[in-house]
A and B are shown apart, each in its own frame.
Chain A
Amino acid sequence: MRDIRRSGRRDSTRGERKYGLFQVISPSRSAKTGLPLWLLGLGVDRLRTDMSRLLALLFHQGVLDEQFLQLQQLQDESCPNFVSEVINIYFHESEKLLRNLRGLLSDREFSDYKKMGIHLNQFMGSSSSIGAKRVRNVCVAFRAASEQNNRAGCLRALELLEHEYCYLKNKLHEFFQIEQQRVLAAGVRYPIQN
């Protein structure tokens, strides 16, 4: 492989050679991208655009509301992973609640609608807190059915709730995966100095 470092000028502050649009990290470094800066920059920008588009879609579909933006505004250097931490707590709690609701309704003799109401209030509260608008709305309809002791209505609502929750979870996973790629791409562009 041709050693392209020979023709470059040395940057004394960083000990690396710069080659116009290219920057190659010396072999002693842990990473050698060989990729042009402009291409890495495009990758980060593109990923940022993908994130914005996905969020815009979720807002347009009514899956998320502005409460999600409030969560993002709380994230900063003091709590850099705040949003993903909250969402992970939400996933953990929601799956427990869905199991509880499914467990209650699987009993043909089920009559403890008060207990169901408690689970639904929890689900509504946490869904509102992360901006999960459609999930919350289904919880409202579910609660209405449980207040009427309508088992069939509750079963239908549970199916819909599981569907909405699944969609939300998949989309949020996609969002955080893109964010992770963006963070990695931004890190590659600015390699850590020893």
Chain B
Amino acid sequence: MVVGTGASGSMAADGVEERKQMSALIVDDNSVIQKIHKVIMTKLGFETQVVDNGKMAVDLHTSGCSFDVILMDMEMPVMNGIEATKELRAMGVETMIVGVTACSLESEKQAFKEAGLNECFVKPLNMEEAKSLVKKLNKEDN
């Protein structure tokens, strides 16, 4: 498994391409989930940033930040995951957005997927699911 290698790289002095560390944005208002997802993504070699709601995620992208993957909760105050995902896609953000939701209703998960998700999991994400995301990211890089 190739971990921590980014799509873009720069050439070092000896001509060997350096790979940047991958980054993950965790968007969730639940402190327990924030902690669990942060540890999982850190273990997989990601640099992580955590925000409490969808609006903060959108504001980060508006200010020029970018990430390799976004873990997006569905139900959040201020701006929920569905609205935030739609907004990010409308802005042209092509980052992998992974929905994580406590909701088990298929209709609600479907609405979340239709907002522009690449994947949707029941929260919390486990290590195997996170590893499958890294594999997909590495495939896209290659």
A residues apposed to B, CB below 8 Å: 67, 70-71, 73-74, 78-79, 82, 85-86, 89-90, 92-93, 118, 121-122, 124-126, 128-130
Contact = CB atoms under 8 A, between A and B. Distances in A.
A118 to B, nearest CB: 8
B30 A74 contact: no
16 contacts: A70-B126, A73-B127, A74-B43, A79-B39, A86-B35, A93-B31, A93-B32, A121-B102, A125-B32, A126-B30, A126-B31, A128-B102, A128-B123, A128-B124, A129-B36, A129-B123
Given A89-B31, A126-B32, A128-B123, 4 more contacts: A73-B127, A85-B35, A86-B35, A129-B30
Nearest to B102: A125
B127 A74 contact: yes
Contacts of A130: 32
Contacts of B32: 86, 89-90, 93, 125-126, 129-130
A79 B40 CA distance: 11
Interface core residue of A79, A82, A125, A126 (most chain B CB under 10 Å): A125
Nearest to A122: B30
A contacts with B: majority SS: helix
Contacts of B124: 67, 128-129
A128 B104 CA distance: 12
Interface residues on B, range: 10 to 19
B47 to A, nearest CB: 15
B33 interface: yes
Interface core residue of B32, B33, B35, B36 (most chain A CB under 10 Å): B32
Contact of A89 (B29, B35, B123): B35
B123 A74 contact: no
A82 B102 contact: no
Contact of B36 (A71, A78, A93, A122): A71
